Amino acid sequence: EPDGTLLGKHILVTAGPTHEPIDPVRYIANRSSGKQGFAIAAAAARAGARVTLVAGPVHLPTPAGVERINVQTAREMMAAVEAALPADAAIMVAAVADWRAADAADQKIKKDGSGQPAPLALAENPDILATLGHHAQRPALLIGFAAETQRIAEHAQAKLAKKGADWIVANDVSGDVMGGDSNAVQIVTTAGIESWPAMAKEDVALRLIEKVADALSV
Ligand code: C5P
C-alpha cells in the first residue's frame, strides 16, 4: 500500500511530551502519549517520505522506515529539530512543556524540616513551532497542533498568526484524547476551517498525510 505520494520529501515530526528535570529523580511532564505523532510519522513513511521523528519520552515502537531521535527536554527537542533541517514539511505534534525548572538541582531536594515546601522557580521553554515559523530554513509547509479545552477554532486562528504556521490541527482535549485512541480534529488554515469527524488516530494521520502530499505537490 505505499503510494509514493511523498517520495523524495523530508518530513519532520515531533511527538510525545517533554520531561523537564527538577532534580535527579523528579520532573515536570504532561499526559501526552505520543500516539498521534507516531501515527503521523508512520503514515508519512508509508507514503514514501524520508521521516525524522523527534520523540519525547514515550513507550512506543519506532514505526517502520522512520529515523527516530529520542529527547527528554524541550531544549533538547529544539536542538534536534534544528539539526534535522531542511525539511519539506514539519508537523509539530509534541506536547512541549511550556516551562522548565529554572535551576534543576544536582542532588535530590530534601525536606528541610521547616514545614515550608521548597520553592520551585520556573523558566519559559523555547517555542519550537514558533522558532521554525520564523526560521531561515522554514519548511515550506509548517503544521502545528493545538490541544484546547474551549473555543477551539478561535484559539487556533490566533495561534496560526502567532506561531507563523500554515495549518493548525486543533483538538478538544477536555475528554480522554490524551492517551486515548481516537481524535476529532479541526484543520484551521487562513483559507478556513475543516472539521473532521472523530476517528482513530491512525486515520487522522492517513488523512492528514494525504492533505500534506496534496499541498506539497502544487
Ligand atoms: O501554544 P501551544 O502550546 O498551544 O501550541 C501548540 C503547538 O505548538 C503544538 O504544535 C506544539 O508542538 C507546539 N509547541 C512547540 N514548542 C513549545 C510549545 C508548543 O513546538 N514550547
User: Separation of 116 CA from ligand 1 center, angstroms?
Assistant: 34
| Angle between the N-to-C axes of helices 35-46 and 201-216, in degrees from 0 to 180, rounded to the nearest 10 | 50
Which atom, in ligand 1's list, is nearest to the CA of 132? 20
- Average pLDDT score over the chain: 94
Q: Is the pTM of this model over 0.80?
A: yes
User: Looking at residue 155, what is its pLDDT?
Assistant: 87
Residue 171 clears pLDDT 90, i.e. is over it = no
For the ranges 57-61, 152-156, 167-171, the lowest mean pLDDT is seen at 152-156
Task: Give percent of the chain with pLDDT exceeding 90.
Answer: 83
Q: How far is the CA of 103 from the centre of ligand 1 (A)?
A: 22
How many A from CA of 146 to the centre of ligand 1?
7
CA distance 141 to 133: 10
User: What amino acid positions are annotated as catalytic residues?
Assistant: 30
User: What are 198-211's pLDDT values in tens digits?
Assistant: 999 999 999 999 99
Q: Which residues line ligand 1 (CB under 6 A)?
A: 14, 74, 92, 94, 96, 98, 125, 127-129, 144-146, 159
- Give 173-190 pLDDT, tens digit per residue: 776 666 678 888 999 998
Q: What confidence score (pLDDT) does residue 177 get?
A: 66
- pLDDT at residue 114, as a whole number: 94
pLDDT at 175: 67
Q: What is the pLDDT of residues 39-81, one digit of tens each?
A: 999 999 999 999 999 999 999 999 999 999 999 999 999 999 9
Q: Which helix (H) or strand (E) holds 92?
A: strand 89-92
Q: Radius of gyration of the chain from Cα atoms?
A: 18
Give the model's pLDDT for residue 18: 98
CA angle 53, 57, 58 (to 5 degrees): 80
Ligand 1 atom closest to residue 129's alpha carbon, by position in its atom list = 20
Confidence of residue 165 (pLDDT cuts 50, 70, 90): very high
Q: What are residue 126's DSSP bridge partners?
A: none
**Is the ipTM beyond the 0.90 threshold?**
yes
pLDDT of residue 172: 78
**If you average pLDDT over residues 151-168, what whole number do you get?**
91
Q: How many CB atoms lie under 10 A from the CB of residue 11? A: 29
Angle at 142 between CA 137 and CA 148, to 5 degrees: 140
What's the pLDDT tens digit per position in 101-123? Answer: 999 999 999 999 999 998 999 99
